[in-house]
Amino acid sequence: YYWYMVLDIFSRKVVGHEVHVAESAELASRLMRRTSLAEGLAGRPLVLHSDNGSAMKGATMLATLEQLGVAPSFSRPRVSNDNAYAESLFKTCKYRPDYPNKPFGSLEEAQAWTQKFVRWYNHDHKHSGLKFVTPAQRHCGQDAAILKLREQVYHEARKRNPQRWSQGTRNWELDDQVWLNPERIRPEALQQAA
């Protein structure tokens, strides 16, 4: 079975997913259209990063992305792990206690398991990369209030018991920008800037 997935790297929320018996540009295209509609993405500057598979590079998929105003981006040649966010999600998936130890018996069984996983991942999983808020909380903007309250609790606890901390309390702020593969500044460029 093939698990098609659209992951918002800002919130780490799985915003669209489907399981099919085949891999095709048409199925990927349909999922992208449905996800774009469900998430209200029309007119927003977006990039879809994917592997170099034929489903993602097919003419149907590329035409769909163009119609949706989404720029395609593909893994670098011979670099299988340049999407750390997707790699992390799949590792989380594979380490779930209920991860199947044998192949699914049917498409419906695979669809039911992935649906259950995505519901847990989006709404219950306290994501370490998000300072332990859920992807759904980050996606709908609840993260700032949750983290502000958490920061206040830590500051109050430090005031009551300062010897418990050798330094300040944990930083509960999340970045307001997320990059998949940020450009690295060459050391010589830093020297010239100084």
Q: Is residue 136 part of a domain?
A: no
Q: Is residue 118 part of a domain?
A: yes
- Residue 168, judged by CB atoms within 10 A of its CB (0-12, 13-18, 19+), counts as exposed
Helix, strand or coil for residue 64?
helix
Q: Is residue 146 part of a domain?
A: no
42 lies in which domain range?
2-127
**Angle at alpha carbon of residue 125, lines to 150 and 155, rounded to 5°:** 10
Domain holding 28: CATH number? Answer: 3.30.420.10
pLDDT score at 58: 86
Q: Is residue 75 part of a domain?
A: yes
Q: Is residue 19 part of a domain?
A: yes
Number of domains within the chain: 1
pLDDT score at 80: 63
Q: Is residue 179 part of a domain?
A: no
Q: Is residue 145 part of a domain?
A: no
Is the torsion defined by CA of 145, 119, 132, 175 positive or negative?
negative
pLDDT of the chain, 194 residues: tens digit per residue: 999 999 999 999 999 999 999 999 999 999 999 999 999 987 788 888 888 788 888 888 889 989 888 888 888 777 666 788 888 999 999 999 999 999 999 999 999 999 999 999 999 999 999 999 999 999 999 999 999 999 999 999 999 999 998 888 889 999 888 887 766 655 565 455 54
Cα→Cα distances 34→118, 138, 172, 185, Å: 17, 21, 34, 38
The tokens describing 12, both together, are 């780490």
